């Protein structure tokens, strides 16, 4: 491994990202089986998705619609006519022994997505977005790693076989230099935001609805050729995308600097150790012996339909970010940090749920970002919703808790103790503003600090801070500090005068 910064002094990285998006259609790509996640193994199956002889596939129109909308949102051209192809290879979780995919006739091609990275815009060119079907799922039992090596036996579940996928492939992304890991992360983040805005997928990386393969190659600095690439498969969080790119840059650099050749291969990403290991040597496309799928008619969307779908697109993400920044009154830096933390959608929902923009930003980017970081998860994976964050801020605004107590409300909600109001109740976190309880605590504080009390009587109002501190301590931070101050001054006959 070569140090990351040293690697980038010697080499230029080229990135490529292949993202698979599992569509949220009701049924599978080529049959009427439910496309829902999970279910008892092998219950969402039929002769077509099991590849039984004589069964005939039919294209899911809703999936084609989603594919076109994704293509349009990525500024792609939409094919007037295209076909499916058979991609031939043997794999135990592919019951047909080929995957129905698209090869040289993708539904969408030649687009781009502009991504923001630390205030700079990188245009990521999209080569193609094509339709295909998901495979089944193998489970290897009896080994220690969950991989096939060392396993005693394997189980296969075909529920996922045939679920519609869109594969989005970028052109090589060059010129990002040291920012390459951040560009990769920002691309996947912003692509996911777009998919969610389109409403075509649940886009949950932890459930595999959105899976990223990260290609990386290095070329000697200043060279205009591309080096040999590695393809790291199924990198399933934003953070891992960034880490995988960093790791591969250091790994490639060490190999090249030693005068060796990088092997073109797929690699596995290990979330726990943050490294990649060798998978299989990558066969070239020809080895798949693609040919047009004879059992399916071509897909030929009319220009009128494509235009109708264009009318259903969500607001362009770049324009949307500019609009939200103006509405929320965020500085460039605040907006950049919000986008960079993957918190834009969460902050937006929190504001929609009633929180002030700065309060929404503060909670997600400080308190919650710290906790996500400690747990090594994404913000969106935390067990708290934007509505709950908005409610906690409302409790602060209503004077029921202060910021310090609010942190304990976050603890409770994240620990699964229920809604914010229930946590305040169960943990007894509400601020005490009842004069009876406060008055007794103020009397105690005056009695315990006679010299301070004397100063205040003599007109040194500033000394009240020490008594307020004593009361707050006695009341475990749950006193209404403003009311405590009033009571102290009243009892000691020292007006603010
Ligand atoms: Zn089926």
The per-residue pLDDT for 376 is 83
* Cα 200 to averaged position of ligand 1 atoms, centre (Å): 20
Q: Are residues 266 and 200 in the same domain?
A: yes
379/291 same-domain check? no
The Å distance, Cα 132 to ligand 1 centre, comes to 15
- State the pLDDT confidence band at 298, using cuts at 50, 70 and 90: very high
Tell which phi-psi region holds residue 459, choosing left (phi > 0), alpha (psi between -120 and 50) or beta.
left
Whether 497 is covered by a domain: the verdict is no
Q: Any idea which residue has 């603890």 for tokens?
A: 411
- What pLDDT is stored for residue 83 in this prediction? 97
pLDDT band at 286; cut points 50, 70, 90: low
Residue 152: which residues within 8 A CB-CB, separation 6 or more? Answer: 141, 142, 143
Q: Ligand 1: distance of its center to the CA of 431 in Å?
A: 58
For residues 109 and 82, membership in a common domain is answered with yes
Handedness of CA 463, 464, 465, 468 (dihedral sign): positive
pLDDT above 90 for 128 = yes
Complete DSSP assignment for 184-208 = HHHHHHHHHHHHHHHTS----GGGT
* β partners of residue 208: none
For residue 48, report the distance from its CA to the centre of ligand 1, in Å. Answer: 5
Ligand 1 centre to CA of 29 (Å) is 9
Question: Residue 89 C-alpha to ligand 1 middle, in angstroms?
Answer: 20
Query: How many residues appear in the chain?
Result: 497
For the cut 80, the answer to whether the pLDDT of residue 247 exceeds it is yes
Q: Mean per-residue pLDDT for 425-439?
A: 84
Residues 51 and 91 sit within 8 Å (Cβ to Cβ): no
Measured in Å, residue 202 CA sits from the centre of ligand 1 at 21
Residue 296 C-alpha to ligand 1 middle, in angstroms? 16
Residues 52-100: pLDDT tens digits? Answer: 999 999 999 999 999 999 999 999 999 999 999 999 988 888 899 999 9
Q: Are 81 and 198 part of one and the same domain? A: yes
Is 486 within a domain?
A: yes
How remote is the CA of residue 31 from the centroid of ligand 1, in Å? 5
- How many A from CA of 65 to the centre of ligand 1? 20
Is residue 496 a part of any domain in this protein?
no
Question: Across residues 393-406, what is the average pLDDT?
Answer: 91
How confident is the model over 91-115, as pLDDT tens digits?
A: 888 899 999 999 999 999 999 999 9
The residue among 291, 309, 327 that closes a domain is 309
Nearest Cα neighbor of 299 from 55, 28, 60, 22 is 60
pTM: 0.80
Report CA(58)–ligand 1 centroid distance (Å): 11
Q: What confidence tens digit (pLDDT) does each residue in 11-54 have?
A: 999 999 999 999 999 999 999 999 998 899 999 999 999 999 99
- Centroid of ligand 1 to alpha carbon of 299 (angstroms): 20
Residue 265 belongs to some domain of the structure: yes
Distance 137 CA to ligand 1 centre (A): 15
What is the CA(305)–ligand 1 centre distance, in A? 27
- The proportion of the chain whose per-residue pLDDT surpasses 90, expressed as a percent, equals 68
In this structure, what token pair is assigned to residue 422? 């229930």
Contacts of residue 132, defined as CB under 8 A and 6 or more positions apart, other chains included, come to 29, 87, 99, 100, 101, 102, 165, 166, 167
Q: What is the mean pLDDT of residues 104-131?
A: 94
Which of these three, 280, 309, 338, is where a domain ends? 309
Instruction: Name residues whose C-beta falls within 8 Å of residue 482's C-beta, 6 or more positions apart in sequence.
Output: none
305 class by beta-carbon count within 10 Å (0-12 exposed, 13-18 middle, 19+ buried): middle
Beta-bridge partners for 98:
88
CATH number at residue 479: 1.10.10
Residue 432 in this model has a pLDDT that exceeds 90: no
Q: What is the mean pLDDT of residues 239-263?
A: 96
- The answer for residues whose C-beta is within 8 angstroms of residue 211's C-beta and 6 or more apart is 19, 20, 205, 234, 235, 236
Residue 286 has which token pair? Answer: 């020809």
Q: Does residue 437 have a pLDDT over 50?
A: yes
Confidence of residue 497 (pLDDT cuts 50, 70, 90): very low
Q: What CA–CA distance (Å, rounded) separates 248 from 235?
A: 13
Q: List C-alpha distances in Å: 305 to 64, 78, 110, 302, 309.
A: 11, 11, 20, 5, 6
Q: Are residues 42 and 24 in the same domain?
A: yes
Domain assignment of residue 88, yes or no: yes
Centre of ligand 1 from the C-alpha of residue 66, in Å: 20
* pLDDT, mean over the chain: 92
- Cα–Cα nearest to 361, from 345, 384, 382: 345
Residue 155 lies inside a defined structural domain of this protein: yes
Distance of CA 289 from the midpoint of ligand 1 (Å): 25
How big is the chain by its Cα radius of gyration, in Å?
29
Which of 13-17, 141-145, 187-191, 397-401 ranks highest by mean pLDDT? 13-17
Check residue 202 and give its pLDDT.
92
Q: How far is the CA of 43 from the centre of ligand 1 (A)?
A: 10
In this structure, are 180 and 266 located in the same domain? yes
Find the range with the poorest average confidence among 59-73, 176-190, 358-372, 448-462.
Answer: 448-462
The answer as to whether 102 is a domain residue is yes
Say whether both 294 and 320 belong to one domain: no
Of 309, 334, 360, the one marking the end of a domain is 309
Q: In terms of residue numbers, what domain contains 13?
A: 4-309
Closest by CA to 16, choosing from 166, 135, 128, is 128
Is 215 part of any domain?
yes
- Asked if residue 326 and residue 281 are part of one domain, the reply reads no
Does 304 lie in the same domain as 163? yes
First to last CA, the chain: 70
Task: Please name the residue that has the structure tokens 């090596």.
Answer: 149
DSSP string, 311-360: TTPPPPHHHHHHHHHHHHT--HHHHHHHHHTT-HHHHHHHHHTT--HHHH
User: What distance in angstroms lies between residue 98's CA and the mean position of ligand 1's atoms?
Assistant: 15
**Domain match, 55 and 109 both:** yes
User: Residues 198, 347: one domain?
Assistant: no
Q: What is the percent of the chain where pLDDT is above 70?
A: 98
How many whole angstroms from 33 Cα to the centroid of ligand 1? 4
Number of domains in the chain: 3
- Look at 72 and 437; give whichever has higher pLDDT: 72
Looking at the fold, whether 397 and 479 belong to one and the same domain comes out as: no
Please, which pLDDT band fits residue 495 given cuts at 50, 70 and 90? low
Whether residue 120 has pLDDT greater than 90: no
């Amino acid at each position: 491994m070569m140090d990351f910064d040293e690697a980038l002094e010697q080499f230029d990285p080229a990135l490529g990202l292949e993202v698979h998006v599992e569509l949220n259609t009701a049924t599978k790509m080529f049959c009427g089986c439910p496309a829902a996640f999970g279910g008892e193994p092998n219950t969402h199956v039929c002769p077509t998705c099991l590849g039984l002889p004589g069964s005939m596939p039919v294209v899911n129109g809703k999936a084609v619609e989603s594919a076109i909308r994704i293509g349009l949102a990525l500024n792609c051209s939409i094919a007037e006519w295209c076909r499916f192809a058979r991609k031939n290879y043997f794999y135990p979780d592919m019951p047909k022994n080929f995957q129905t995919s698209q090869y040289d006739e993708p539904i969408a091609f030649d687009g781009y997505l502009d991504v923001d990275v630390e205030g700079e815009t990188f245009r990521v060119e999209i080569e193609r977005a094509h339709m295909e079907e998901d495979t089944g799922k193998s489970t290897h039992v009896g080994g220690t790693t969950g991989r096939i090596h060392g396993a005693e036996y394997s189980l296969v579940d075909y529920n996922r076989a045939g679920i519609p996928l869109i594969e989005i492939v970028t052109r090589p992304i060059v010129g990002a230099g040291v920012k390459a890991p951040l560009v990769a992360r920002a691309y996947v983040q912003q692509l996911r935001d777009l998919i969610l805005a389109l409403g075509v997928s649940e886009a949950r990386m932890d459930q595999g609805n959105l899976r990223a393969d990260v290609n990386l190659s290095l070329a000697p600095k200043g060279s205009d050729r591309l080096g040999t690439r590695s393809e790291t498969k199924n990198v399933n969080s934003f953070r891992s995308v960034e880490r995988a790119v960093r790791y591969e840059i250091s790994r490639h650099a060490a190999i090249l600097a030693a005068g060796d050749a990088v092997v073109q291969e797929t690699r596995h990403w290990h979330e726990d150790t943050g490294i990649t290991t060798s998978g299989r040597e990558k066969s070239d496309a020809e080895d798949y012996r693609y040919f047009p799928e004879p059992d399916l008619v071509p897909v030929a969307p009319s220009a009128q339909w494509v235009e109708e779908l264009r009318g259903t697109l969500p607001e362009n993400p770049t324009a949307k970010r500019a609009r939200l920044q103006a509405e929320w009154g965020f500085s460039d830096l605040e907006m950049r940090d919000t986008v960079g933390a993957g918190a834009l959608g969460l902050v937006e929902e929190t504001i929609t749920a009633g929180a002030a923009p700065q309060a929404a930003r503060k909670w997600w980017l400080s308190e919650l970002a710290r906790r996500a970081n400690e747990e090594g998860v994404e913000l969106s994976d935390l067990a708290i919703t934007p509505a709950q964050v908005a409610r906690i801020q409302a409790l602060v605004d209503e004077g029921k808790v202060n910021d310090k107590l609010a942190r304990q409300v976050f603890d409770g909600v994240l620990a699964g103790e229920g809604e914010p109001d229930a946590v305040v109740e169960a943990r007894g976190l509400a601020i005490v503003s009842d004069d009876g309880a406060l008055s007794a605590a103020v009397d105690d504080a005056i009695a315990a600090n006679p010299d301070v009390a004397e100063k205040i009587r003599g007109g040194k109002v500033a000394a009240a801070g020490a008594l307020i501190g004593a009361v707050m301590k006695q009341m475990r931070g749950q006193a209404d500090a403003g009311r405590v101050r009033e009571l102290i001054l009243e009892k000691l006959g020292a007006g603010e005068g």
